[in-house]
């Protein structure tokens, strides 16, 4: 697999001496993909706001090794330079500011994502999902997540069987069930992500209709699914292109995202080579989603 060259990064380090490290990253990078590559259990939280990623570590856990791993992960996700700003701030500031800044988000016509500390909206006639950011394996704010949920509202057939590859927080699998799917299987190769998804499943009252497993795309069968979801980074979408097509039932649909708009042609060519027909391309900001039939 061809890897992208490392990207030069500029670091701006503050001299404050407080309790919590906030790392701000200005780059067109999928936050969920970055969190999966980092796989750092010491990460306190992460979120995205207006194109800037915010990541938090305790001052005791932050060091040059963590910064180097962050640089390496970013180099795999973007060929462009990114600006990293590292700040130190009191816990009371980041906790209060972080929680206050994260508000419910409406996606499409039927779904609202809210956090456990935010109340339900009695005027909203759709359905709520409760997703706390935690390690940010999908919280509903990123354009790629929103594109896939919006497309699901349109193409998901009632009673469909759904597969979510790289489930992260489980948000797409849970959204599919709320939108009318009969069952959903969410798989991820990161144990922390699967545990996060299971916590979210319990918080939302799902039962056996939602199956969350530690597995790869090649281990998702036997059997096929009416709808396959894959919100992954460019490199992983290329890696799963052999395993994904046999998982789509005849007449079924695959929705792919996690890729930048500039990478679409490469992904389209790769999946056409595996028998896919591209029936839709959807863009938001610098991100894109593809709708495929096999």
pLDDT in tens, 22-78: 899 998 887 777 887 887 878 887 877 777 888 888 888 999 999 999 999 998 888
Residue where a domain terminates, one of 100, 123, 153? 100
Confidence of residue 176 (pLDDT cuts 50, 70, 90): very high
CATH number at residue 62: 3.30.70.260
Q: Do residues 65 and 187 both lie within one domain? A: no
Mean pLDDT of 223-250: 95
Q: How far apart are the first and last CA of the chain?
A: 24
Residue 11 φ/ψ, nearest 5 degrees? -105, 135
Specify whether 267 is located in the same domain as 175: yes
Helices (H), the chain: 31-38, 64-77, 91-101, 143-155, 171-178, 191-203, 234-239, 264-272
Please tell me whether residues 275 and 193 are part of one structural domain: yes
DSSP code per residue over 202-269: HHTT--TTEEEEE--GGGS-SS-EEEEEEE--HHHHHHTTTTSGGGEEEEEEEEEEEEEGGGHHHHHH
- Output the pLDDT for position 50: 74
pLDDT at 94: 53
DSSP-based three-state secondary structure for 126: coil
Domain range for 147 is 142-293
Residue 175 near residue 111 (C-beta atoms within 8 A): yes
In a domain, 135, yes or no: no
- Report if residue 121 sits inside a domain: no
Structure confidence at residue 108 (pLDDT): 94
Nearest alpha-carbon partner for 32 in 148, 127, 114: 148
Residue 204 confidence (pLDDT) above 90: yes
Residue 220 forms part of a structural domain: yes
Q: Kindly report the CATH number assigned to the domain that includes residue 233.
A: 3.40.50.150
Instruction: Say which range, 76-90, 91-105, 212-226, 246-260, has the weakest mean pLDDT.
Output: 91-105
Q: Which residue has the higher pLDDT, 138 or 64?
A: 64
Over pLDDT 90: what percentage of the chain? 62
Look at residue 118 and tell me if it is in a domain.
Answer: no
Domain match, 162 and 22 both: no
The pLDDT score that the predictor gives to residue 11 is: 33
| Position 159 in a domain | yes
Each as own residue / partner, the long-range contacts of residues 285-288 (CB below 8 Å, 24 or more positions apart, any chain) are: 285/28, 285/51, 285/143, 286/28, 286/260, 286/261, 286/262, 287/28, 287/30, 287/142, 287/143, 287/144, 287/147, 287/257, 287/259, 287/260, 287/261, 288/147, 288/257, 288/259, 288/260, 288/261, 288/263, 288/264
232 in a domain, yes or no?
Answer: yes
Domain total in the chain: 2
Same domain, 288 and 147: yes
Using pLDDT thresholds of 50, 70 and 90, give the confidence band for residue 14.
very low
87-101, 156-170, 273-287 — which is least confidently predicted?
A: 87-101
Give a yes or no: residue 168 inside a domain: yes
Give yes or no: residues 155 and 231 share one domain.
Answer: yes
Residue with tokens 């389209």: 268
According to DSSP, the residues that pair with 211 across neighbouring strands are: 185
Looking at the DSSP bridge assignments, the partners of residue 120 are none
Please check the confidence at residue 12 and state whether its pLDDT lies above 60.
Answer: no
Distances (CA, A) of 54 to 85, 144, 151, 208: 10, 18, 28, 35
Same domain for 71 and 167? no
Tens of pLDDT, residues 65-113: 999 999 999 988 887 778 999 988 765 555 566 666 678 999 999 999 9
State how far the Cα of 165 lies from the Cα of 187, in Å rounded to an integer: 5
């Amino acid at each position: 697999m061809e890897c992208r060259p490392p990207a030069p990064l500029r670091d701006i380090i503050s001299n404050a001496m407080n309790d919590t490290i906030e790392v701000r990253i200005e780059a067109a990078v999928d936050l969920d993909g970055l969190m999966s590559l980092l796989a750092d259990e010491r990460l306190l939280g992460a979120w995205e706001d207006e194109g800037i990623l915010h990541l938090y570590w305790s001052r005791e856990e932050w060091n040059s090794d963590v910064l180097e791993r962050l640089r390496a992960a970013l180099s795999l996700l973007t060929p462009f330079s990114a600006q990293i700003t590292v700040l130190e701030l009191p816990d009371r500031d980041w906790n209060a500011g972080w929680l206050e800044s994260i508000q419910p988000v409406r996606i499409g016509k039927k779904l609202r994502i809210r956090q456990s500390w935010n109340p339900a909206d009695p005027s909203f006639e759709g359905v709520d999902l409760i997703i706390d950011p935690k390690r940010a394996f999908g919280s509903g704010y990123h354009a790629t997540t929103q594109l896939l949920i919006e497309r699901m509202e349109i193409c998901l057939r009632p009673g469909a069987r759904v597969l979510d590859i790289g489930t992260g927080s489980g948000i797409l699998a849970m959204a599919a069930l709320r939108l009318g799917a009969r069952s959903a299987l969410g798989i991820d190769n990161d144990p922390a992500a699967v545990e996060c998804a299971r916590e979210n499943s319990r918080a939302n009252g799902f039962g056996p209709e939602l199956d969350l497993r530690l597995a790869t795309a090649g281990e998702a069968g036997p059997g096929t699914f009416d709808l396959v979801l894959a919100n992954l980074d460019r490199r992983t979408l290329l890696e799963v292109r052999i395993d994904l097509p046999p998982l789509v039932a005849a007449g079924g649909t695959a929705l792919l995202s996690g890729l930048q708009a500039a990478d679409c042609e490469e992904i389209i060519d790769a999946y056409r080579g595996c028998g896919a027909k591209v029936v839709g391309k959807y863009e938001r900001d610098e991100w894109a989603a593809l709708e495929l039939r096999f």
